[in-house]
Amino acid sequence: MKKRLIYSVVALIVISGSLAGASAFGSDEVTVKGEVIDQVCFENKNGARGEAHSSCAMACAKRGNQIAIIEDGSNTVYSISGDYSANKNEKLIPFVAEKVEAKGTVMEKDGKKWLNITSIKKME
């Protein structure tokens, strides 16, 4: 009987943890317009971004550094997670240091916003 209770409790913990992880990102899709940046350089080099920083940002992105979008107007930084950040940012490389329009879902953790991108395109 005790084993069954322990197994049930463990199963409930695992299931609730899975559901919490799955619902961590909001279900509403948002659109973020801004520049794709190398977040480490942006935070540690006085807001490094733009054309003057594009070659450094590209090198950092190819190494797998955290990439983000800094939103036009609000200057909110959205760290990019999910498929677009996989394989050392492989899908983001064409967008580094470019103005983009990205759609996806947002999660906030430890005061930081995370964007799980579903689609992204360069702005004209």
Contact 79, 114 (CB under 8 A): yes
Does the pTM of the predicted model rise above 0.85?
no
pLDDT (tens digit, 9 = 90+) per residue, 60-82?
Answer: 899 999 999 999 999 999 999 99
Q: Identify the pLDDT of residue 29.
A: 92
Cα 35 to Cα 7, 21, 69, 100, 111, distances in angstroms: 49, 28, 5, 6, 20
Q: Identify the pLDDT of residue 6.
A: 60
Q: Identify the pLDDT of residue 3.
A: 59
Where residue 51 falls among pLDDT bands split at 50, 70, 90? confident
- Percentage of residues of the chain with pLDDT beyond 70: 79
Q: Identify the pLDDT of residue 45.
A: 72
| 12 torsion bin: left (phi>0), alpha (psi -120 to 50), beta (else) | alpha
Q: What ranges do the domains of the chain cover?
A: 36-122
Contact 36, 50 (CB under 8 A): no
Mean pLDDT of 9-33: 61
State in Å, rounded, how far the first CA of the chain is from the last one. 66
Q: Which two tokens stand for residue 82?
A: 């999910």
DSSP string, 58-118: HHHHHHT--EEEEETTT--EEEEEGGGGHHHHTTTGGGTTSEEEEEEEEEEETTEEEEEEE
